[in-house]
């Protein structure tokens, strides 16, 4: 899989564009600036956007080509991001060390999805937020992007189950109109989640 992403990201053009995901940008406007994590961040468009807003932007991905383009974009925008090379199943951080975790089109097979999501939730501070957007299984009939394997696509119930310990502020499946580079363009079926981690056991 790493080789596939390296090949995709090796081209000079940013295949998902250089502008942030619209759902992410909308939600970040509602939150105070803090420390944010971008798992599987690819070419860095979202991490760079957050850094430009003043966030301490931490990202990781398995692709060295993706990292190189992310750092190039950060340099062009005159911001700094902390970007490491790591697999989703191997990433580790201090518990409660992030104010926000942003999962933007991070698609995983069922056998690791729940475990990765649980681990990431542990890295959220009490009162921290999760922002997620991903393609649903209905996306298979569209040509606007996303995996072509049903196992890598999601249902709202699956996402809700993975993050059941959080307070859901907004959640559900919807139709989005994507304009994100070459590979995310057109009408798409997505699941979105905006959720908060409790500040106390009784919160």
Segment 46-56, tens digit of pLDDT: 999 999 999 99
Burial bucket for residue 103 (CB in 10 Å: 0-12, 13-18, 19+): buried
Assess if residue 201 is contained within a domain. no
Residue 160 within any structural domain of the chain: yes
pLDDT band at 199 (very low <50, low <70, confident <90, very high): confident
**72 assigned to some structural domain:** yes
**Is residue 68 scored above 60 in pLDDT?**
yes
Name the domain count of the chain. Answer: 1
CATH number at residue 75: 3.40.50.150
Q: Residue 195: which of 113, 88, 102, 93 has the closest Cα?
A: 102
Domain membership of residue 152 (yes or no) is yes
Q: Which two tokens stand for residue 92?
A: 């580790």
**Taking a C-beta distance cutoff of 8 angstroms, is the pair 118, 179 a contact?**
no
The H or E element containing residue 190 is strand 184-196
Q: Is residue 202 included in any domain, yes or no?
A: no
44 located within any domain:
yes
Domain annotation covers residue 203: no
Measured between its terminal Cα atoms, the distance across the chain in Å is 40
Per residue in 18-61, pLDDT (tens digit) is 999 999 999 999 999 999 999 999 999 999 999 999 999 999 99
SS3 90: coil
Q: Bridge partners of 170?
A: 194
Which residue range(s) make up the domain with 104? 2-196
């Amino acid at each position: 899989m790493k080789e596939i992403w390296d090949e995709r990201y090796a081209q000079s053009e940013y295949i998902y564009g250089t502008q942030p995901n619209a759902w992410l940008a909308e939600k970040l406007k509602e939150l105070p600036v803090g420390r944010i994590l971008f798992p599987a961040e690819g070419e860095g468009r979202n991490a760079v956007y957050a850094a430009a807003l003043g966030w301490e932007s931490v990202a990781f991905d398995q692709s060295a080509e993706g990292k190189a383009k992310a750092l190039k974009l950060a340099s062009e925008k005159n911001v700094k991001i902390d970007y490491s090379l790591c697999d989703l199943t191997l990433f580790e951080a201090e518990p409660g060390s992030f104010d926000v975790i942003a999962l933007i089109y991070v698609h995983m097979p069922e056998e690791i999805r729940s475990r990765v999501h649980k681990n990431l939730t542990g890295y959220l501070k009490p009162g921290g937020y999760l922002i997620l957007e991903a393609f649903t299984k209905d996306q298979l009939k569209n040509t606007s992007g996303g995996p072509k394997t049903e196992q890598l696509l999601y249902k709202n119930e699956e996402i809700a189950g993975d993050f059941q310990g959080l307070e859901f502020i907004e959640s559900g499946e919807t139709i989005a109109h994507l304009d994100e580079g070459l590979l995310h363009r057109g009408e798409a079926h997505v699941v979105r989640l905006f959720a908060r981690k409790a500040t106390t056991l009784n919160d």
